[in-house]
């Protein structure tokens, strides 16, 4: 079923594990995709994984530069058409020392990677969604947003900020026909997590494909009455 047929959506962090799964799921649902990542070679590899006949364009950008998402929005609008949605997946994770030993640079790195990229992209795309009179914003937070953890304060804080940002966007945009929601994944079953946690029970982890299905729902017409939500996607972890 082509739930997103005729819809143009931007996916950031598209060349990562969750980004690739989401891109393939959205392409199969009929969406036209603007796939964004900072790694042009990884974007090239992603193209080969998409379903035959997929409609997409790729953009290698630095989302920490607020000017580049603005130019992205303009280019997508002119080359692909009216933008319907934004899926903010770009981000990262890092353990660290205790709060008192965490450097300002480490704080800034996590806040920039996880919060500022989403903020820059939302600010750039919202005018296009307002122009369309409808749209979807889906942000990726994390289970870590719900409770602080030792040696993870910058990550937890940055992901908690995504929840608050999403709620603010939902309130500001609810009368413009635009929804804003976020998801809270638990531990994803990725090659990197398997290598980092070889003794863990992977049967309780969540596959990127399963998370992509939740993102697809939030971007679809079926979720038209859902906004300001933070959806747990923990599986059995």
Q: What is the DSSP string of 15-54?
A: TSHHHHHHHHHHHHTT-EEEEEES-HHHHHHHHHHSPTT-
- The per-residue pLDDT for range 58-108, each reduced to its tens digit, is 999 999 999 999 999 999 999 999 999 999 999 999 899 999 999 999 999
Q: Which of 84, 158, 159, 220 is catalytic?
A: 159
Can you give the pLDDT at residue 1?
60
Please say if 141 is a catalytic residue.
yes
Can you give the pLDDT at residue 2?
80
3-state class percentages of the chain: helix first, strand second, coil last, to nearest 5? 50, 20, 30
> What's the mean pLDDT in 30-52?
96
Residue carrying structure tokens 């009368």: 175
91 inside domain: yes
69 inside domain: yes
Partnered with residue 24 across adjacent β-strands are: none
Better-predicted residue by pLDDT, 195 or 110: 110
- Per-residue confidence band for 16, with pLDDT thresholds at 50, 70 and 90: very high
225 inside domain: yes
201 phi and psi, to 5 degrees? -80, 100
CA–CA gap between residue 182 and residue 185 (Å, rounded): 10
Question: How many domains in the chain?
Answer: 1
DSSP letters for 112-138: IIIIIHHHHHHHHHHHHHHHHT-EEEE
> What's the mean pLDDT in 174-193?
88
For residue 176, pLDDT over 80 is answered with: yes
Tell me the two tokens of residue 151: 């040696």
Please say if 155 is a catalytic residue.
yes
36 inside domain: yes
Count CB atoms within 10 A of the CB of residue 109: 16
Q: Give the strand pairing for 230-233 and 32-37.
A: unpaired
Q: Which of 141, 158, 174, 237 is catalytic?
A: 141
CA–CA gap between residue 162 and residue 13 (Å, rounded): 15
> What's the mean pLDDT in 32-46?
97
Query: Which of 48-52, 73-77, 135-139, 201-205 is predicted with the least confidence, judged by mean pLDDT?
Result: 201-205
Please say if 24 is a catalytic residue.
no
Q: Quote the radius of gyration of the chain (alpha carbons, Å).
A: 17
- The per-residue pLDDT for range 132-167, each reduced to its tens digit, is 999 999 999 999 999 999 999 999 999 999 999 999
Can you give the pLDDT at residue 203?
75
CA angle 179, 205, 121 (to 5 degrees): 30
For residue 124, give its domain range.
8-233
Considering the entire predicted model, what is its pTM? Answer: 0.95
For residue 202, pLDDT over 80 is answered with: no
155 inside domain: yes
29 inside domain: yes
- Per-residue confidence band for 55, with pLDDT thresholds at 50, 70 and 90: very high
Q: Which of 54, 155, 158, 220 is catalytic?
A: 155
Q: What is the CATH number of the domain that holds 201?
A: 3.40.50.720
Residues 6+ apart with CB under 8 A from 60: 36, 37, 38, 39, 40, 43
190 phi and psi, to 5 degrees? -125, 160
161 inside domain: yes
For residue 198, pLDDT over 90 is answered with: no
CA–CA gap between residue 186 and residue 235 (Å, rounded): 7
CB 166 within 8 A of CB 121: no
Can you give the pLDDT at residue 38?
96
3 inside domain: no
């Amino acid at each position: 079923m082509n739930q997103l047929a005729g819809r143009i959506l931007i996916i950031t962090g598209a060349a990562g594990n969750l980004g690739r799964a989401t891109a393939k799921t959205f392409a199969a649902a009929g969406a036209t995709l603007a796939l964004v990542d900072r790694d042009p070679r990884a974007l090239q590899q992603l193209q080969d994984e998409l379903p035959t006949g997929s409609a997409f364009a790729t953009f290698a950008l630095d989302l920490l530069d607020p000017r580049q998402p603005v130019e992205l929005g303009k280019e997508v609008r002119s080359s692909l058409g009216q933008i319907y949605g934004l899926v903010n997946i770009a981000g990262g994770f890092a353990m660290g020392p205790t709060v008192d030993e965490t450097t300002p640079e480490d704080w800034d790195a996590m806040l920039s990677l996880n919060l500022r990229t989403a903020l820059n992209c939302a600010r750039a795309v919202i005018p296009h969604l307002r122009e369309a009179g409808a749209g979807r914003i889906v942000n990726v937070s994390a289970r870590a947003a719900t409770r602080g953890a030792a040696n993870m304060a910058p990550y937890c804080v940055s992901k908690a900020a995504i929840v608050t940002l999403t709620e603010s966007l939902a309130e500001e945009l609810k009368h413009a026909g635009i929804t804003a929601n976020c998801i809270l994944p638990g531990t994803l079953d990725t090659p990197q997590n398997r290598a980092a946690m070889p003794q863990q029970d992977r049967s309780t982890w969540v596959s990127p494909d399963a998370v992509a299905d939740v993102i697809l729902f939030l971007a679809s017409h079926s979720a038209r009455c859902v906004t300001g939500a933070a959806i747990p996607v923990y599986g059995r972890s």
